[in-house]
Amino acid sequence: MRVAMATAYLTLWAIVTIGIVYFAVHAGYPWVAVICAYLLFVFLNGTLAYKARSHQLKLQGKDPPPYSRYLFVPSGFPRFKQEAPRFAHMVVGIAAAITGAFFVFCGVALALDAEWSRILNPILVAAICLVPTGIGGVLLYLAWRILISGKRSTNVVA
């Protein structure tokens, strides 16, 4: 019975998605097709997951969460002062390092490429070159703090 229901669900999902994509592409808006298919997928699967979870919680005698909160934030909101996982620290640190290096590169490239003898106000241009370099420096420092010297506390209260 479950296999038949899953097959019917997937078939219906495929038909609706193909229909949306066909009509949106035929109308000349292929990006609308992708967005609509994704939103339909999130909404439909979120609704089915909410129905199953709320039924499970009602059988246990608990109240289910509100539908909109479950649909958009199914795992709940993070608690205040809760330690992030180590993987999240690594991802944020690497992203900050790459962004900081890019900003420093842009600031230095602007300064080296400028024809200083032809510039009427070199102080202003130097300040414009220092802004992305400074932002990049701050981001590199942030990445260093997150990746290298960030201490993780062992006594996190949940």
Average pLDDT, the chain: 82
- The answer to whether 140 and 100 have CB atoms below 8 angstroms apart is yes
Across 22-43, average pLDDT: 81
Break the chain into its structural domains and give their ranges: 2-72, 86-147
77-117 pLDDT, tens digit per residue, is 767 776 777 888 888 899 999 999 999 999 999 888 888 88
117-129 pLDDT, tens digit per residue, is 888 888 888 888 8
What pTM, to 2 d.p., does this model score?
A: 0.47
